[in-house]
């Protein structure tokens, strides 16, 4: 017996700790002149700017929730089997969700319904809202936390200088730009319901081996999103070309704690290709600068130069018919450099060592 008592007392603190982790986000009490038989009010729950569930009557048949970590709790039932205290429990308050509630009286309500609702935010701060509702009447939406912080803007929405740099390159190559503006339907940041419109403008520059774009919102109640991006390829598409990219964007989110997702690349960059490794440069000119491709050739190997080749030969004798003029390099103690114009050239002499060909593109 003593052992069982010790086990019970050992388990009780763990259960208490688990219960303390939950937060009652809504505790709703209601009454009418005939509370012992009237039906309870209806409750709609909004999280992250969308409806995630409702309480119409007895759970689980007439209630629903589609948000992990939330559950309904019913107590203090009247003679009709309706709960006079309706609670929404948050088992994951660490997620920092903003929860909002809309309370409505049943459409066939005979008398005035008195509502007392205590709302608690994830950190534990609470406030009580009291109201009266007649048949079919709906209360204003109440939230915890109360304040909504849209990104208008939370980060700098001005056009970055690198965007203008990219557009200038495209225009210089013969590209063109198109601008447009319009309106988009606005959604209430609390309920997700359509509510008015907001403006959006866009600019797109394209052609000549690349494109740059800029889009931005103005007056979006959910927060002004924007995006800038550029993708610009080498000036002359060649056998082994590369593309320089850069971007910046900001998007408002209500998933978990509300905030702004900002994505910005610090430099122009080009991904690795079959010929060239990854490159990064603070300026577009640096990213697009001609690159050197190192080629190791032996006897009988042919290499095609796209523009010009620099040939370094050490301790060999080699004929290079590149531009119609044969050039012979004799053995030397130091490397000798010869430029060869576009076209194929072939090693014609015996190579005792590897010869380095650098293709300038």
CB atoms within 10 A of CB 106: 18
Average pLDDT, integer, range 239-251? 82
Which has more pLDDT, 8 or 177?
A: 177
**What is the DSSP annotation of 307-357?**
EEEEEEESS--EEEESSSSEEEE---SS-EEEEEEEEEEE--S--SS-EEE
Q: What is the pLDDT of residue 9?
A: 32
Q: What average pLDDT does the structure give for the chain?
A: 76
Which has more pLDDT, 85 or 332?
A: 85
Least confident of 141-155, 168-182, 184-198: 141-155
Give the separation between CA 114 and CA 40, rounded to whole angstroms.
11
Residues written for the chain: 361
Average pLDDT, integer, range 47-64? 92
- pTM, rounded to two decimals: 0.60
Q: What is the pLDDT of residue 235?
A: 65
- Which of 252, 246, 278 minimizes the C-alpha distance to 265? 246
**In the chain, which ranges are continuous DSSP H helix?**
2-21, 161-172, 284-288
Partner residues linked to 247 by β-bridges: 229
Burial 327-359 (b: 16+ CB within 10 A, else e): bebeeeeeeeebebeeeebebeeebeeebbbbb
Using DSSP, state whether 165 is helix, strand or coil: helix
Q: How many CA atoms lie within 13 A of 322 on its CB side?
A: 23
Report the relative pairing of strands 326-329 and 318-321 from DSSP bridges.
Answer: antiparallel
Which has more pLDDT, 291 or 271?
A: 271
Q: What is the pLDDT of residue 264?
A: 85
Q: What is the pLDDT of residue 291?
A: 65
pLDDT at position 342 over 80:
no
pLDDT at position 68 over 90:
yes
Contact 274, 254 (CB under 8 A): no
Q: pLDDT (tens digit, 9 = 90+) per residue, 207-222? A: 878 999 999 888 888 8
257: tokens are: 């704690």
Average pLDDT, integer, range 304-320? 44
Give the separation between CA 52 and CA 72, rounded to whole angstroms.
12
Backbone conformation region of residue 296, classed left if phi is above 0, alpha if psi is from -120 to 50, else beta: beta
For residue 53, what pLDDT band results from cuts at 50, 70 and 90? very high
CB atoms within 10 A of CB 254: 20
Give the separation between CA 277 and CA 154, rounded to whole angstroms.
36
For residue 121, what pLDDT band results from cuts at 50, 70 and 90? very high
pLDDT at position 331 over 90:
no
Pick the CATH number of 292-360 from 2.40.50.140, 2.60.120.10, 3.30.2290.10, 1.10.8.50: 2.60.120.10
Q: What is the pLDDT of residue 272?
A: 81
For residue 261, what pLDDT band results from cuts at 50, 70 and 90? confident
């Amino acid at each position: 017996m003593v052992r069982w008592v010790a086990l019970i007392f050992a388990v009780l603190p763990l259960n208490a700790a688990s219960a303390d982790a939950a937060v009652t986000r809504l505790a709703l009490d209601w009454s009418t002149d005939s509370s012992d038989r009237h039906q309870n009010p209806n409750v709609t729950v909004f999280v992250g700017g969308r409806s995630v569930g409702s309480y119409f009557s007895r759970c689980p048949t007439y209630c629903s929730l589609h948000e992990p970590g939330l559950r309904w709790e019913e107590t203090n039932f009247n003679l009709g089997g309706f709960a006079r205290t309706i609670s929404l429990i948050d088992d994951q308050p660490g997620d920092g969700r903003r929860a909002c509630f809309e309370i409505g009286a049943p459409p066939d309500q005979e008398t005035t319904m008195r509502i007392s609702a205590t709302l608690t935010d994830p950190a534990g701060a609470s406030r009580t809202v009291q109201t009266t509702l007649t048949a079919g009447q709906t209360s204003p939406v109440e939230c915890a936390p109360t304040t909504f912080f849209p990104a208008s803007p939370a980060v700098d929405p001005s056009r970055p200088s690198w965007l203008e740099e990219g557009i200038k390159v495209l225009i210089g190559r013969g590209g063109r730009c198109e601008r447009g503006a319009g309106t988009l339907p606005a959604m209430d940041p609390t309920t997700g319901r359509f509510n008015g419109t907001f403006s959006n403008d866009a600019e797109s520059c394209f052609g000549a081996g690349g494109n740059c774009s800029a889009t931005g919102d103005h007056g979006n109640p959910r927060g002004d999103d924007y995006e800038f991006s550029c993708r610009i390829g080498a000036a002359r598409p060649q056998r082994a070309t590369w593309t320089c990219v850069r971007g910046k964007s900001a998007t408002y989110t209500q998933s978990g704690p509300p905030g702004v997702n900002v994505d910005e690349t610090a430099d122009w960059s080009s991904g690795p290709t079959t010929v060239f490794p990854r490159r990064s440069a603070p300026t577009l000119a640096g990213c697009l600068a001609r690159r050197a491709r190192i080629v190791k050739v032996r006897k009988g190997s042919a290499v095609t130069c796209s523009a010009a080749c620099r040939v370094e030969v050490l301790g060999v004798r080699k004929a290079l018919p590149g531009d119609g003029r044969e050039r012979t390099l004799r053995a030397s103690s130091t490397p000798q450099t010869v430029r060869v114009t576009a076209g194929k050239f072939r090693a014609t002499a015996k190579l005792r060592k590897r010869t380095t060909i650098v293709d300038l593109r």
